[in-house]
Structure 1
Amino acid sequence: MIEQASDIAVMLDDKSLVVAISVSPDLPELGSLEHWVGRDFRNFLTVESRTKFDARLLEMRADPDALPRPLEMNHRDNANWEFPVRYTLHRDPDSGGVLLLGRDMQPLAEIQQRLVREQMARERELEKFRGIETCYRVVLEASETPLVLVEPDQGRIRDINSAGALLLGSKRDVLAGNAFAQAFEGQRRGGFMDQLRAAAASDEITGVEAVARRNGRLVQLSPDFFRASGEVLMLCRMAPVEDEEAARPESAQSLTALFEAASDAIVLLDANGLVRDANEGFLVLSDAAQLRDVQGRSMADFLSRGSVDLKLILDNTRKTGRMRSYAAQVQSIVGTRTSVDISAARLRGRNADLGVGLIIRDTSPRDLPNVEEASAVVSEEAMRNVMDLVGTASLKELVSATSDVVEKMCIETAVRLTNNNRVAAAEMLGLSRQSLYVKLRKFGLINAQDDE
């Protein structure tokens, strides 16, 4: 009955010596354990199992009526062969010995070891997957080619790099997960995706043209199918389509070469004043290392008077189509300032407004301090009027008269630069609009400006 009830049974005397041992015939892998008889049971236990065995014997002797609880121990014989067994200890009150009924835990231990190995393998695979995903992200972001990954069935954007988001006039976080057709004017999801599928499957169709919704740019899409983990995805390469009517191919190449090689800074802005493109001259002027350092930023970040200068340039360019000369200061990324002269023109495309183009010329050599130039700032007539007061007025009155002359000239210049826009002139001078009106009345300028 004991052989049928347990895989291994061991009878110990009161000194823990093995009196008898029985091994189930269904477990031939345990072999013959008759050499245990007459020897201390502890000799066939690992170090940690001996401690548990002694602690359980003390508990049984302290409380003979306690119910037997399972005790897992690892056996070790002279051949250093280990196998785990779960025992229940039963005390013999007559002889003081202990009967151990055990179940072989080797199959369970093998399963546990297999699970541990599988878990470690999964962790290695997960770490490898993270490394591959990191490489994918770095390569996608570093690519200067606008790329977008699309789910063909759903028509959603799976992923897009910064170059692609910039071409569409938006940001990666805004576009990712949205319908690809929503990024273009007049496109519906079903028809748009059918065009892309046809272009990807055909050898004759070179691509699909669409107008970006955010900036009105004409974009050509070149789709290709690929399969990853059983899922079919679409990779679209995007490129801006140049206006063929604007210039012949040879002229377009010459204009591109002029844009890159010009010593003056050339900047292309969108309708909101954000930098779309710039040549090497502007990168030198703004102390930028590469184009992406300035691309997508507001031009106000590079002007000393910030949004005031940018608003004047954009407003006047929208009204008249161009601005011949505007004196300002360009502030570089590191904080240095350079006096410049800005010419602006409104750019119009075939289907939409393309923004504003700026030509920025460095005028700092002509702005070096010069005694003759400094004296020429104030008119001779104004200086003669001040000099006539010498001997008839105190020095304080002379200084006050001189400051009034300079203040009047500064206000006249600000009003002229802003085309009589008094709100912009007040911002340029750092005054409130009410203070500017007071000074205009003080110097008799308000009536003349109203007549104009």
Structure 2
Amino acid sequence: MTAEFQHPETHLLQADVRTVASLLSAAADLTLVVDGNDVIDDLSHNLDQASSGGIAAWRGQPVESVVRGSSRPVLKKMLRSAREGDPATRFDVNHLLEGERDLPVQYSAFSVGGGQTVLLGRDLRVVAELQSRLLVNRQSLERNTRNQRQAEAHYRLLFETASEAIVIVDAVSGKIREANPRAAAILGFANAGLSGRKLSALFQKHQQADVQAMLAGVLASGTPVTLDLSGGQDDRGLTLAAELFRAGDLRLIMVRVSQPDAASGREAESDLGLDAIVRNAAEGILLTDEQGKVLWANESFLGLAGVPLAAHVVGRAFGDFFQWSGIEQDVLLQNVRMHGRVQAFAGTVKGANGQTTDVDLSAVAMLDRSPPGYGFVIRQLSPEGARQGRGNSDLTRTAENLVEMIGRVPMKDLVRDTTDVIEKMCIEAALNLTGNNRASAARVLGLSRQALYLKMNRFGIASDE
């Protein structure tokens, strides 16, 4: 917002030419007087000696010759606007100094008659330096945040896959903050059901006082304490080993829960009649029921999906582990039902930590077994095969199977899912084009950054910006 003098003819009437020139020189860091042919007639500046080298030689040169090529369209627009009498507007121009150095200047242009235009400029180097520092600090913050997230993901993976049963307890309240799946299985609770419960409440009444005394002893002494709960009415034969540690300002107790017969219990897993070749196959193998709920998965599939334990897969819909639309899953299952088997169905496995892997799926119907269901073999594509095979496969596969789905799926669902495939492909192409720069990708796609983030989350697209 600007405000101009209301009565300059009254208050500035006595100002002579030299006074006006002094005012212009004092008001601006760099002042240029440009004639009607865009040649610099005169200039003044208040720049330091290190920055002003060569500026005096600009007199008599075309003004375009002293600015960067990228700034010339802005310069022309500024001069044209001033000569046409448009309201004063600020324009950012980059000058070229000796030694290929830049001098960013913000100009306001005024026509003073006789074909001459006065450019009043403010040195923007301090602003540019502050912006540069802000950008460096922001990038450093983003790197630190990314490293922290990676460390948290590594901790979470180690915690959940540890063979030991571990419970993290608040030292003051005695309430459980975290427990890994192994501890939940030994204690006989769902993993999510342990958080917020008192550790002592998980045991029989005659054992609760001992558990509370153990926690109090660890907190008071700071030394590890072991409690044997075997014998009595509790036939689990548990042993608790508690140790105090700090996490910032929090005082926490790590309790290791051990069970003498745990090793034999782990070996007594259900046998689905699969031989060692299937269990140890390099390809991922899934068995599902007719509704697509996972019944069994081998180790190779767990590795592809980034899932530490088979228990985290069993009972979930197999489509949860693939990056595709609902129509693609329907097409795959429909073809398996109709033909008994499907080969080379392209897909992408989405891992628990955001990574994706291009794969080929083969499926077979197993309707004569109990319970009836399907078997899937998932083969990871090599990087060369992924580049050659993916391309427009999502769109092509949707188009090829569109006719088969007519009559089985409402048309609005067909149109919606096909549109989703196209949107996803455009976002992935924009991210590849811009080197995973989300801000640039959003500009390429004509979206706001927030809209791009929402669509990436919707389609399960990960980026390492």
TM-score (norm 2): 0.49
Larger Rg: 1
TM-score scaled by length of structure 1: 0.50
